[in-house]
Amino acid sequence: MPLPGILCPTRQTASQRDSPKAWPTWPALSMQTGKAKRIKAMETIHVNSSCDEAFIHAVENESGENVSLCYQCGNCTAGCPYTDFYDIPVSQIMRLVQMGQRETVLSCRSIWLCATCESCTTRCPNNIDVATVMDVLRHMARRAGKNPEPQVKTFCDSFLASVKRHGRVFEAGLMASYMTKTGRILTDADLAPKVLPKGKLGFTPHNIVGKKEITEIFQRYNAEKNS
Amino acid sequence: MKIGVFVCHCGSNIAGTVNVGSVAEEALKLPSVAFASDTMYACSEPGQDAIIEAIKEHRLDGVVVASCSPRMHEPTFRKTVERAGLNRYMFEMANIREHVSWIGKDKDANTRKAVDLVAMAVAKLTQDRELTPKTFDINKRVLVIGGGVAGIQAALDCADGGLEVVLVEKTSSIGGKMSKLDKTFPTVDCSSCILGPKMVDVAQHPNITLYASSEVADVKGYVGNFNVSINRKATYVDWAACTGCGLCMEKCPSKKSRDVFNEEIGTTTAINIPFPQAIPKKASIDPEFCLKLTKGKCGVCEKVCPTNAIRFEQKQETAEEAVGAIITATGYDLFDYTRYEEYGGGRYADVITSLQYERLLSASGPTGGHIKRPSDGKEPKDVVFIQCVGSRDKSVDRPYCSGFCCMYTAKQAILTKDHLPESQSYVFYMDIRAPGKLYDEFTRRAMEEYGTKYIRGRVAMVYPKGDKYIVRGADTLMGAQVEVEADLVVLAVGAEAAKGAPQLAEKLRISYDAYGFYMESHPKLRPVETNTAGVFLAGSCQGPKDIPTSVGQGSAAAAKVLALFSKDQLESDPQVSVVDIKRCVGCGKCIQTCPFGAIEEMDFRGMPKANVIETICQGCGICTSTCPQGAIQLQHFTDNQILAEVNAICQQTPAQNLK
C-alpha cells in the first residue's frame, strides 16, 4: 500500500493550484543548474518481448487507474510546471506504461521530480489520476532499488523520519537531517531571513497529540510491508 | 430599352474589396440603364422584393444583377424577374465575387473591373431576346447502375415509390462489398443478416428488373428520355432454368477458378454460385477454367444439371432499356496493396488485405469463420494491422483519406479478440478518424476493453523471421522505433475509384475528379446530383463512404428521382442551337462535330439543311463555332450577343485605358 499524502507535499485547493506562487518546491530542484538532459535516444523497442503486461497490471492495481484510457492528448505535459526538469515528459511516461516499458519508466528521473501538484490530474480529459500513477511509479522504483535522484530520496526519508518521531514534520530538524546526509549546507539558506521572523521555522519540535497513533501507523505499514 | 442594375454587397464578400456604391453610380451612366442601386444581399427576400419593385416602378425591360457566380444564383434571379412579369431570359448576371472580390485586394482595380463586367452584362442584355421553354413527356423508369448497398437502397426506394427500376450489376450477384463483410461497425451486427433481406427484396420486388453479370454499354438521350444498351455477359447457364441447387458446383472437376468473392483466398470451381446468399442465386461458368470451354472435354455439369440449364454455346447479348433517370452507384475498388513493396503484400502469404481478413472472419468464408494463416493454416497469436495503406499518401498518388479504414480496423481488432481470446492485436495508425455517431466510442472500446495496442506511426518494413514476420515501425508517442513480431499482418487498404469509372462517366456525360471519383453538382447543397440533368450519384462512386452514408445517399438519390418524376412533363432548356435555314449551305460540318448527335440532315425543298433536335441539344455551342456561314446560332449566346460584350469591354476611352 502506498502512503498517499505522506510522501507528497500538502495537497492544495484548486485556487491555490492556479496561483504560480503556490507551487510546492522540492529541495532537489534548487540543485538543478539548468534544463535536464533528455535520456539517451531510445533503442528499437521490441514490442512483444519488452512489453511487460505484469507491470501494466501492477501500475493499474496500485493506482486504481486504467492506463488504456490515455489517448495521448498531452494535456498533462502541457500543464506540468516541472516538465523543464524532466527527462521524460509525463504524457510520454503514460505512453511508456501503456507499452509496458518497465525499465525505462522506473529508471527515469521525472517520477522523482514530480511534485504531485496534480495539475495533470486536474486537466486529464479522461479523468485519469496521473499524479497518483506517478506516485505509484515512484514507489515501484523505490521498491526496485532505483534511486536516480538520491537527494530527493534522502529528503523523503528525512521527512518521514521527522513525521514518525514527532507526529508532524519538525522543519528545523528535517533541514538539519537533510543537510547532514547530503552535505548541502546552504540549500535554501536564503529563505531563512524571510521564514524565521514569521515563526515558520521553530527551533524546538512541536509534538502532536496523536503522536503515538502516528507511530503506530508507521509500525503497521512496516509490518504489512515485511509480511 | 430600360435596364435595372443591382450591385450586391454579399455582406462583406464583395463590399469588402469592391466599392459597390460607385459601381452602381457608374452603371447608371451606361446607355439603356434606367435604374441602378446597391443592395446588401440581392438573393435575400428583401433583395428580391426590391428588384421586383424597381421593375414595376421604373417599367424595366431587363435586369442585371452584379453578384456571385451564375451557377449559384442565376436560377434564383430568373425566377425573381419572372415574378415581376418579365421573361426569365431578360436577365444577366455579372460575377463580381468569384471573378473580382475574392481574387484581388486592390479596391480601386476591383471596382474598375466590376464596372467593366457590369457594362458587358448590360451590353449583352440589350441584345437578349425572350425565350420560351418547350415541354416534353418523361419516361418514368429509372436505371440504377451497381448493385452494392447504395444501389440496392436506391432501387428499393424508387421501386417502393412506384417507379419501374432497371438494376444493372457487373458481377453475377448483387450485394457489393458489403456482402463480403463479416460484421459492420460500430454495432458489430452481422453484415449478411442486415443486407440479405434487402437483396431478397430486390429479387422479389415486382417493380425491379435485375440484370446481373451485365454492364452498361451505351447511353443515349437526355433527362426524361434515356436509351440504354446493356451488355449481358455470357454465363453459359440459362438463368431462367437454373434453380441454384449447386449440384454442378459439387461435381465440377475444375477447381482452380479465381474465387473473386472470397478475395482470392483459395480457388473455386469453374461453374459456381459465388456465395450461398447470392441474388440471383444462379450458377455461371468461368470460361478461362471450364474444361469444356477450354479443351472441349468434360461437360459434367451438363450431365448432372437437373433442369438442363447449361448452355456452353451462350453468347453475350445486348438488351435495350428506355428510362427517364439514371442513378450511378458503381462503388469503389481497393488500392493495389502490392505497390507498397516494403510491406511484402503479394510476396508473403500472411500479409493480407483487410477485405481478405473479412473473408477469414466470415462464417461463410473459405475457413468457415476460423482465423487461420494462409501459409500454414495455424491460428495467429499476434496480429498486426497497418492502416493508411493507399490512403493519405501523396507518393502513391492517393492523398485523400479513405474514411472508413480506421473504423473497420478497430472492428477487425475487436473480432480478432472475440475469435481468439489469447491473441494480441496491434494497430499502426497515423490518426484515428472516427467522426460518426458512436464511432469514436467504438475505437476506444477496441483499446480499452479489447486491449488492442494502438501504435501511432507508420510501418517502414515487414520481413519474415522464421515462421513469423517482423513489423518495424515507429511509435511517435514514445519517440522510438519499434518492432512487433507478427503471425499475421493485415493491410488496411484504402479505396480508389472503381475500375472503368471514367469510361462509364464518359458514357453518362458526367465529370470525375483526378482519381476517377464522380463529381457531384455541389459538394454541400447538391451532393447526389451531377451536372448532367437526370443522372444522380449514390455511394462510393463519388468518394469513399461507409455503409450508413452510402445507404443515406441511395435513399437521397431515389428521392431526387421521385421528385423529378412527380411531374408528367419537363421543360426543355431553350438555350439550344437554332439553324437559320436561309444561311445554311448544308455542308454537314455541324452534324459531324456535335458530341450529342443532336443535329440531323433534313431535306428542305430538295436541298440538304441542318436540323437541331431540341430535346437532345445540350447547348454546348460547338456547332456555332464550326459553322462557316454563321447559320447555326446558340440561343442566348448568339454571335451578336457575345460581340456586344466584347465591344463593351474594348470600346473604352483612352483615359480609362491609362488608369
Residue B35 Cα distances to B18, B62, B82, B121, B367, angstroms:
20, 11, 18, 15, 78
Predicted local confidence at residue B543, as pLDDT: 97
Confidence of residue A190 (pLDDT cuts 50, 70, 90): confident
Are residues A46 and B485, on separate chains, in Cβ contact within 8 Å? yes
Q: Does B440 touch chain A (CB under 8 A)?
A: no
Are residues A46 and B481, on separate chains, in Cβ contact within 8 Å? no
Asked whether residue A33 carries a pLDDT value surpassing 60, the answer given is no
Is the CB of residue B580 less than 8 Å from the CB of residue B138?
no
Residue B273 Cα distances to B267, B284, B313, B329, B356, angstroms:
13, 7, 19, 23, 19
Predicted local confidence at residue A172, as pLDDT: 87
Give the residue from A53, A68, A110 with the most B CB atoms within 10 Å of its CB, the best one to mutate.
A68
Are residues B448 and A72, on separate chains, in Cβ contact within 8 Å? no
Give the residue from A40, A45, A47 with the most B CB atoms within 10 Å of its CB, the best one to mutate.
A47
Among chain A residues, CA nearest to B480:
A42
Asked whether residue A20 carries a pLDDT value surpassing 50, the answer given is no
* Domain boundaries for CATH 3.30.70.20 within chain B: 577-635
Give the minimum alpha-carbon distance from B341 to chain A in angstroms, rounded to a whole number. 22
Give the residue from B422, B482, B487 with the most A CB atoms within 10 Å of its CB, the best one to mutate.
B482
Among chain A residues, CA nearest to B478:
A92
Q: Please state, rounded to an integer, the average pLDDT across all residues of chain B.
A: 95
Helices (H) and strands (E) in chain B, counts: 18, 34
- In A69-210, which residue ranges form alpha helices assigned H by DSSP? 75-79, 90-98, 102-107, 110-113, 119-123, 130-143, 150-166, 171-182, 192-195
Where do we find the cell 510546492? A24
The least confident of A76-85, A218-227, B600-609, B628-637 is: A218-227
ipTM of the complex in this document: 0.76
Beta bridge partners, B209, equal B166
In sequence order, the 6+-apart residues with CB closer than 8 A to the CB of B547 are B149, B178, B184
Asked whether residue A18 carries a pLDDT value surpassing 50, the answer given is no
List of chain B residues whose C-beta atoms are within 8 Å of the C-beta of residue A95: 475, 477-478
Q: Please state, rounded to an integer, the average pLDDT across all residues of chain A.
A: 83
Question: What would you report as the CA-atom Rg of chain A, rounded to the nearest whole angstrom?
Answer: 19
> Does domain B141-233+316-331+498-564 sit in CATH 3.50.50.60?
yes
Q: Does A49 touch chain B (CB under 8 A)?
A: yes
Predicted local confidence at residue A36, as pLDDT: 45
Is the CB of residue A141 less than 8 Å from the CB of residue A149?
no
Predicted local confidence at residue B656, as pLDDT: 56
> Which CATH architecture is the domain A46-143 placed in?
Orthogonal Bundle (1.10)
Among residues of chain B, what percentage have pLDDT more than 90?
93
Are residues B453 and A71, on separate chains, in Cβ contact within 8 Å? no
Residue B251 Cα distances to A70, A182, B102, B222, B303, angstroms:
57, 88, 70, 49, 10
Give the minimum alpha-carbon distance from B424 to chain A in angstroms, rounded to a whole number. 9
Q: Does A32 touch chain B (CB under 8 A)?
A: no
Asked whether residue A5 carries a pLDDT value surpassing 80, the answer given is no
Greater model confidence, A192 or A106: A106
Predicted local confidence at residue A195, as pLDDT: 85
Is the CB of residue B337 less than 8 Å from the CB of residue B343?
yes
Among chain B residues, CA nearest to A48:
B484
Angle of helix B149-160 relative to helix B547-564, nearest 10 degrees, comes to 30
pTM, 2 dp: 0.84
Task: Write out the DSSP string of B388-448.
Answer: EETSSBGGGTB-S--SSHHHHHHHHHHHHHHH-TT-EEEEEES-----STTHHHHHHHHHH
For chain A, the domains span 46-143, 150-226
Among chain B residues, CA nearest to A47:
B484
Number of C-beta neighbours around residue B110 at 10 A = 23
Are residues A44 and B455, on separate chains, in Cβ contact within 8 Å? no
Quote the DSSP letter at residue B522: B
Predicted local confidence at residue A39, as pLDDT: 47
Quote the DSSP letter at residue B180: G
In sequence order, the 6+-apart residues with CB closer than 8 A to the CB of B363 are B182, B369
> B642-658, pLDDT tens digit by residue?
999 999 988 765 545 44
Where do we find the cell 539517451? A40
Of A46, A95, A96, the CB nearest to B483: A46
Are residues B479 and A49, on separate chains, in Cβ contact within 8 Å? no
pLDDT beneath 70: ranges in chain B:
652-659
Quote the DSSP letter at residue B99: I
Question: What 3-state DSSP class applies to B145?
Answer: strand
Q: Does A208 touch chain B (CB under 8 A)?
A: no
Of B424, B478, B483, the CB nearest to A96: B478
Separation CA B236–CA B293 (nearest Å): 10
> B260-290, pLDDT tens digit by residue?
999 999 899 999 999 999 999 999 999 999 9
Confidence of residue A191 (pLDDT cuts 50, 70, 90): confident
Asked whether residue A102 carries a pLDDT value surpassing 90, the answer given is yes
Separation CA A35–CA B502 (nearest Å): 59
Predicted local confidence at residue A41, as pLDDT: 54
Residue B375 Cα distances to B268, B355, B378, B379, B487, angstroms:
18, 17, 8, 11, 10
Are residues B481 and A69, on separate chains, in Cβ contact within 8 Å? no
Q: Does B74 touch chain A (CB under 8 A)?
A: no
Closest CA to A73 of A90, A59, A53, A56: A90
In sequence order, the 6+-apart residues with CB closer than 8 A to the CB of B215 are B168, B170, B230, B231, B233
Are residues B477 and A51, on separate chains, in Cβ contact within 8 Å? no
Are residues B453 and A47, on separate chains, in Cβ contact within 8 Å? yes
Are residues B483 and A92, on separate chains, in Cβ contact within 8 Å? no
CATH dotted code for B577-635: 3.30.70.20
In sequence order, the 6+-apart residues with CB closer than 8 A to the CB of B400 are B391, B392, B515, B543, B544
Separation CA B238–CA B307 (nearest Å): 10
> B591-618, pLDDT tens digit by residue?
999 988 889 999 999 999 999 988 788 8
Beta bridge partners, B603, equal B608
Are residues A68 and B447, on separate chains, in Cβ contact within 8 Å? yes
Separation CA B466–CA B178 (nearest Å): 36
Question: What would you report as the CA-atom Rg of chain B, rounded to the nearest whole angstrom?
Answer: 31
Listed in order, strand segments (DSSP E) in B430-512 are 453-456, 459-465, 468-475, 480-486, 488-493, 495-497
* Domain boundaries for CATH 3.50.50.60 within chain B: 141-233+316-331+498-564, 334-496
Separation CA A68–CA A72 (nearest Å): 10
Predicted local confidence at residue A183, as pLDDT: 87
Q: Does A47 touch chain B (CB under 8 A)?
A: yes
CATH (one of 2.60.60, 3.40.50, 1.10.3470, 1.10.287) for B3-131: 3.40.50
Residue A168 Cα distances to A4, A194, B162, B652, angstroms:
15, 22, 86, 95
CATH dotted code for B334-496: 3.50.50.60
Predicted local confidence at residue A24, as pLDDT: 40
Give the residue from A39, A45, A108 with the most B CB atoms within 10 Å of its CB, the best one to mutate.
A45
Number of C-beta neighbours around residue A15 at 10 A = 8
Q: Does A40 touch chain B (CB under 8 A)?
A: no
B257-258 vs B267-268, strand pairing mode: antiparallel
Predicted local confidence at residue A2, as pLDDT: 39
Predicted local confidence at residue B652, as pLDDT: 61
Confidence of residue A196 (pLDDT cuts 50, 70, 90): confident
Is the CB of residue A137 less than 8 Å from the CB of residue A59?
yes
SS3 helix, strand, coil % of chain B, rounded to 5?
30, 25, 45
Of A45, A72, A92, the CB nearest to B482: A45
Q: Does B475 touch chain A (CB under 8 A)?
A: yes
* Domain boundaries for CATH 3.40.50 within chain B: 3-131
Cis peptide before B274 (omega within 30 of 0): no
Are residues A95 and B447, on separate chains, in Cβ contact within 8 Å? no
Number of inter-chain CB pairs under 8 A, A vs B: 54
